Structure formats: structure tokens, C-alpha cells
Structure 1
């Protein structure tokens, strides 16, 4: 799911409150002809989030009951945290242009904020002012949200390592636990009062340094990453899955790295919410939204590029997300003179994003780069006003979201019915 997208709440509600089997307003069931497409689709998203919260709570409760029947009455709190989904009011969380066209006042004071991620910027007193201003802006626009409360681990930490390990095995099965935590002895050793890591001798340390240097020079081939295969769920988790959904399904995820293709394997059991936008049958709803928006905004994007090019910013192009690679550019700008090791530490050096060449007039010091960034933010904002970019951008993006959500609306209502059936089945199990 794109970073700009609303995401449904994944956690469970504190109390399982079953819903009546009524359909949502609109095409999915019943009807309200007075509602716009967007209003109906927003209601659909909120209903999906609520149902997902309820089924997650039900799953957790079934697993907890299973564990307690086996004698495990103290649970690892992080596994059963409950989240209430936040109600959304729009299909669109933010707009593509907001990442490169900033409010004029913000642009003039802080630029894009890229300087805060540089080595010198982390020591700059103005960095704290920048983050305070960003937090205040977020609270004003989004209401701030509730502060996260860390779960109470007191009872869990009072268990012995052997008791904790036994809980993990009862929850997810031995194969899964061994892959993630090692054997019981290895897990217990992490919590031993004895010294866990022995100090290296001078000879051992020197040997490790030589090996690292050889790797860097290419004398030692670094092993390619192995494809990951997730163990099949076991224990109480598998019992819950089989009771609500039947057998879990193994799925594959293929990706490329350094010219090689890798296939990871995972297990799924709960039907996926169609609004997550995963690629299916060659279709990716998020890519479709971006494509429709790009088709509508092509002329305006060209005008905008002409404007910033006329102000001396050459080589900029819109990417597949209809934004400009400003952050990638600033990483290149602020880390252009550091060693390869430092670049690997601070930058995504494997990124295929192409950024404009470093401008000669940007200077060669942190202060000059920061000044360049601020002026760039001002110029980018002024070009936004000059070509009238924001208003058509918002309209085009809203329309693209509505069009694509309409295409999956029937699938979402069908998924909601499946979740209501699963919730009803869960309630029957919990009532026994």
C-alpha cells in the first residue's frame, strides 16, 4: 500500500461486538441514493476497518482460550495488543504534490527538512525546531491521535525463559519458534545471568577486520541472500485458523535483487481486504490510481517541470508515484563527500531512483547546501502557484481514487460478508 494511502486498522477491538448481518449503504446492500460515490465508499472503508478489528479480536480471544486450556495463563502482551481503527473522512490521505510543493512560509523557514537527516543537521539546534513545527502541524491537521501506551510486561517477564519458550511453541508451533527464536537452550541463554558475549582476542578481532576488508575489495564473494520460507503455522494459532478459515494457504512473493530473482513463501489464512490494493491478476489498484492521475495531470506536470527548469533546477522528472525524488536528491547532496561505508549507513544505495546531477552552485559545505535546499523549496512552491498546480492535482487525485475504489466495491462488500460469517463462527466457538 502506498505511503499516501489510508490503511485499515489491523488490531482487534478490546471487546468483541458482533454486528448484525446487514449490508452497507449503497451497492453492497440497502441503498441511499442521496449519498455521493465518495461518501458511500468512505463508509465502506470504515465498515471494513471495524469488521477487521472485530475479527482480529476474535482470533486473539480464541488463541488465548486455547493457550489457557493448555495451562499458559500469562501471555506475551505484544501478541495480543488491541487497536481501535480510526475513522477516515476521505478516500485520499494526502496528495502527490504535497511532497514537493510546500506552504510558502514553511518552505522559507525549513526548506524540505532534508538537512535534518544529514550528519551536520543532526547536530544543528534548528533540527529540534523543525520537528516541533512538524508535530504541531500534524496535530493541527490530524488531531494528533492518541499517545501509544506500552503494554505491561511485568507478568510476562516474571516467567522463566523456559516458560516463555513453551508459550511460544504452544502458540505457533515448534518449527516456527525455532526459526525465529532458536532452540530452547539458545533462547534461555539470551537471558542467562552469565556473560552472553565473550570478548574477542586481538588475533580474532584482527582476523575479522581482514575478512571485512577483503569483502570490500571484492576478494571474498558475499553470499547472495537466501529465499525465505515461512514455517507453516502450528499450535493454537493453527487451531484457530482451521476453526475459522480452514487450512492456511502458502503464497509466493517474487522479487529481484542484483539481477537475481528470489521467491519467498508465506502462509495466509484470513481473506485479504481488497482495499489493501495487492496485485491480483496483473492489476494493482494503487498503480491504477497513479496512472489515471498521471494521465489527467500530464500537461500540468510538464508546465511545472518547465517552470523549475527555468529557475535553474535541471534534470527533474516525475516518478511512478507522481512525485519528485526530493529526498533521494538531498541524501545525495548532503552525503556526496562521505566514504562509501558512511553512504551505505545513511543511504539506500541499492535504490534505482534516478536523481538530477548535483548542481555546481549548491556549494560544498553543510551551510551552503542547507541554504540551497531552502531556496529550492521556495522556488518549487512559487512554481506551484505560478502554474496553478495544487487545485487540479487535488481534483484529479480524488477522482482517480473514486474511480478505482468503485471498481473493487463489489469485491469489498463480498469480503465484508465473509468477515461477518467468520465473526459469527468465532462467537459460536467463544460461547461454548
Structure 2
């Protein structure tokens, strides 16, 4: 998913996400309620298929650091005693978090390929960003330059990237002394309507923030992403169980953090929807429908990349297609099982060919992509409930997913 769109000028880069009336847009569907409440799944059997708005500014576009404003300079610190996560003091949140946000410039053969964003993850100099932001630098002539809040620039190397989730980790060649990691929040506790802030480098304008709310949860979003072999520019499908927000996400925001009212990291800005396709080589702006990879998934992938350079994902062991079921005169979508891999978690749970899966861990499912997105968001150390329709009867199958 194009990071909240990275901006890209190189041929073959991610394009602007499709909007209604354009190829790749499947239409709106209802949001999810938070954990411990009755959940509603995406409605109308639709999954948003979004072509990335790559967060890469191409060619001669100026790097955003020169545009940054210093509006906060010289102000006295604000008291935040009355601030809560529901009624945040955004000025204070921006001040607390902005030191941890970086601008990323990617180049090959001495030419700028694009810009994106990232956030400091630990005290070792690791930075979380999007795969589509840094993948062009994963070539013999590729290089990455990172600009800090204070204007200092340093080089960085790719530690690992995971195209299937669009998460990547880079490491700064110097650990910054005046900037630390963002505190990691619990993205699974977010509710529709919670206030959020997106930080990053939109259109090369470094140190930018936008605010909004969580518009929906568990939104299945699929995009194309640069695969394992960055040199060949082969594309790989990315499927995300995303946080949807109306905080403006524009080209260049890709990889930057989404934070809650306490300034805690709860997501990685990664894509945005657009009403119409941009012109050749163009990028569309925000229409208030942006997507972030939940921090719970981003951290799980980042920890693996830091440890081994590779990432494994929750695995069920079935092949799927979109299905439909009829109940009480009403037709609704499902994820229909086509085959079950022998010895897999699905096999052990008793899944059978032809089963219609309609719910995962209490969240409704109405197509195959929605199921894949939800499976990737599940834990692998505890049992997960799957509701299936078999022979017109509803039943619950339980299994513990594996990493693969």
C-alpha cells in the first residue's frame, strides 16, 4: 500500500489509490467495532483495492526539510493536566512526538527516487517505515538519507522489509542523541471515533501533522507493492487489516506514524483513497479516506525483521474464493474454502472444502480478502474462533494459527 503515499517519480511506482467509479474501488462498507464489543464486519461484500499512492517525490522535487515551519519555537510548555486521550491537546502531542518522526529520501544512481516518512522505534537507531518507501534503495546503487526534526541528515541501511505487509525497518548510521522512540500504544483498543494524528513528510513538507478520527477498524485493504526483488520491480500483493482515518494522508506521509491522543504510536500511515486517477505520473490529494497498518501488526513484523531480516505471518492453511450464502431471504458474502492443506491449522480444526467462513474472532467476513486480512491480524499463541456455514448450519471451529 502506498504509504500514505510515498511519492514516486520513477516508472513503475505505485499509483494513486482508486476511487469510486474507477478500477480497483469496490465501494464503501461498514466499519468494525472495537474489541470486547459486538463487532460488525465490512458490509456490501466489498474490499477496497487500492493502488498505492507511493510516498515518493520524484525527480527534481525539492526535499521537504526546507519547507518546515518553526511555529512552536519559543513557546512555553503547556500544562497537560486536563488533557485526556479523548480530548487531546494536539499542540502538546505534536511537540512530544515530532522529535521521533523522520523524513526519508531514497535515491539510486545519485538520483532522488522519492520521499517518505518513518518513526524511531528503539534506542538502537531502528526506524519503522513502509516497504514501498525504501524498496527502491534495495539495489546495488540504492541509498537512503534520513533527515531529523533538528535538520540533521544521516545515512541509513535497510535492515529488512516485508512486501506482504508493507512494513520495513531501516537503521540509522548514528543513533540520535536528542530523539527517542515513540511509546507504542495498543491499537487493538482503538475505537471508531477516537482522535488521531498523522505525522510525516507529505509532498516533501517535513514536520507536518494532520488530525482526525478513527473512521473504521478492521478495514481490509489490498494493494500492489514492490516485492522481494527490488531490482526486477516485481509486484506483490499486500493485504492489510487497516485502521481507516479521515486525518489527511498525502503523498510523502507513507511510513510515518499515526498516534493517539496520548501521543502513542498506534499505526503506520500507508495508503489513501482518491476519487479519480491522477494523470500520467501524477498524484491525487487526500479526500479524507486514509489507511494505517495497526501498530500491533507493524511491531510484530518489525521485531522479526530486526531479529532475522525476515518476517513470518499467521498461517491458516486454506485456499479461498469469494462466496455467498442465503439466510432468511437475505444474501451475504462469505469466504468460501476451496481446499485445505493437510496437517495445517485449518486441517486440525476440521475445515472442509465448501465451508463458508463468515466470522473470525467475532468480526464478520464477507469475502476472501477480508478473511486473509483478519487472519494476518490474529495472535499465534492462542486459539482463534472461526464461524462457518456448512450444509446450511452454523458452527464454530477453533484453531491456533502458525507462523509461516
Fold match (TM-score > 0.5): no
Higher RCO (CA < 8 A, seq sep 6+): 1
Which band: TM-score by shorter chain?
A: under 0.3
TM-score (norm 1): 0.22
Q: Which has the higher strand share?
A: 2
Q: Which has the higher helix share?
A: 1
Higher Cα Rg, which structure: 1
TM-score (norm 2): 0.24
